[in-house]
């Protein structure tokens, strides 16, 4: 079975943790322990988040020479390499030495007319108090929105149109390689027309990891698409006395339910897109439950098969 697993940001850096290499490696090690049994039994493709890492690199660059700070597309490429290296090493230490790995820098095309450019919504980087956020907005022109009781920078989040490296990913899978790609939603790029020249350029944006991972899973013909987060499942009435865990659902049964735009909403939408477009399963759940999620015994499974929605209290 071909499985695409999208690691949530919590698999690399939990909220409130220091953004050090040691902390990230410890979290990647935990992720590798969950992924290794899957890699032994199935073809595995891994994508991952990178928001805190990109934010940290941006801050480091600005502290050195603010006017020469690297753009987000270049920082995204740097984090794909660094995070992929850690995943390869930690997962490789748990698998036979002859298992091949490859981390691919993954360019993803977006539409320059995408409405996401008009309303920045994607959180990136660390949290700030209101005074710090206001100062950075004045100094750098960044846009901030509230995230819990703190503030974070937001950037445009256009939808992915095309994954440029999809053919190399397929070639590697045909040779039983574990592939790490589309990190952070991929490197955002678009075509610009300059005179008579059509040129591919980077974009100061962040593509949603879940939407890009869904496109990846669909184009690879994945049998299962799994999004791992810090919640054990998708819930109805989250945080209320009537809270219920959704165990199984069809896309139609979820269509009119308002899930949080900044957290579970994109995951549910991506899962529904995958199920509707392929007729196969998508699932959402916690990293530690990955084996049970794949077996359909944990998390939330979304499929066109069945009727309606099954919930547990």
Q: Is 193 exposed, middle or buried (0-12, 13-18, 19+ CB in 10 A)?
A: exposed
CB atoms inside a 10 Å sphere around CB 199: 10
Tell me which residue of 233, 252, 182, 191 sits closest to 212, measured CA to CA.
182
Q: Which one of 122, 185, 280, 285 is the catalytic residue? A: 122
Residue tagged 């909220």 (tokens): 15
Buried b (16+ CB within 10 A) or exposed e, 32-64: bebbbebbeeebbbbbbbbbbbbbbbbbebbee
Is there a catalytic annotation at residue 209?
Answer: yes
Q: Which one of 8, 51, 209, 299 is the catalytic residue? A: 209
CB atoms inside a 10 Å sphere around CB 11: 26
Q: Which one of 8, 10, 285, 299 is the catalytic residue? A: 10
Q: Which one of 50, 125, 186, 267 is the catalytic residue? A: 267
CB 159 within 8 A of CB 27: no
How far apart are alpha carbons 106 and 289 in whole angstroms?
Answer: 28
Is there a catalytic annotation at residue 122?
Answer: yes
Q: Which bin fits 182, alpha (ψ -120 to 50), beta or left (φ > 0)?
A: left
CB 239 within 8 A of CB 306: no
Is there a catalytic annotation at residue 297?
Answer: no
Is there a catalytic annotation at residue 280?
Answer: no
Q: Which one of 8, 9, 84, 285 is the catalytic residue? A: 9
Is there a catalytic annotation at residue 269?
Answer: no
The pair of three-digit structure tokens given for residue 231, joined into one six-digit string: 């919640």
- DSSP assignment of 236-263: ESTTSTT-EEEEEE-HHHHTT----TTT
Catalytic residues: 9-10, 122, 209, 267
């Amino acid at each position: 079975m071909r499985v695409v697993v999208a690691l949530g940001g919590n698999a690399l850096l939990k909220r409130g943790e220091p953004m050090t290499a040691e902390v990230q490696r410890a979290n990647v090690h935990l992720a590798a322990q969950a992924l290794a049994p899957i890699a032994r039994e199935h073809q595995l493709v891994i994508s991952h988040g990178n928001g805190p890492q990109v934010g940290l690199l941006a801050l480091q660059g600005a502290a050195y020479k603010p006017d020469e700070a690297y753009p987000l597309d270049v920082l995204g490429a740097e984090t794909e390499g660094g995070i992929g290296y850690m995943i390869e090493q930690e997962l490789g230490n748990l698998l036979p030495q002859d298992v091949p790995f490859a981390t691919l820098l993954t360019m993803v095309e977006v539409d320059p007319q995408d409405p996401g450019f008009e309303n920045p919504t994607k959180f990136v980087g660390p949290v700030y108090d209101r005074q710090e956020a206001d100062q950075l907005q004045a100094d750098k022109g960044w846009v901030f929105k509230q995230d819990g009781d703190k503030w974070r920078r937001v950037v445009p989040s256009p939808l992915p149109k095309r994954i440029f490296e999809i053919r190399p990913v397929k070639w590697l899978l045909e040779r039983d390689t574990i592939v790490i790609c589309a990190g952070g939603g991929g490197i955002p790029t678009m075509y610009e027309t300059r005179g008579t020249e059509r040129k591919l350029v980077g974009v100061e944006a962040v593509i949603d990891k879940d939407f890009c991972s869904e496109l990846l899973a669909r184009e690879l013909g994945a049998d299962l698409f799994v999004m791992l987060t810090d919640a054990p499942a998708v819930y109805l009435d989250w945080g209320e006395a009537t809270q219920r865990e959704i165990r199984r659902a069809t896309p139609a049964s979820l269509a009119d339910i308002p899930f949080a735009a900044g957290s579970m909403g994109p995951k549910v939408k991506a899962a529904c897109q995958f199920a509707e477009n392929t007729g196969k399963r998508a699932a959402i759940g916690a990293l530690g439950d990955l084996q049970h999620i794949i077996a359909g015994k944990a998390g939330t499974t979304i499929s066109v098969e069945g009727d309606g929605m099954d919930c547990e209290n």
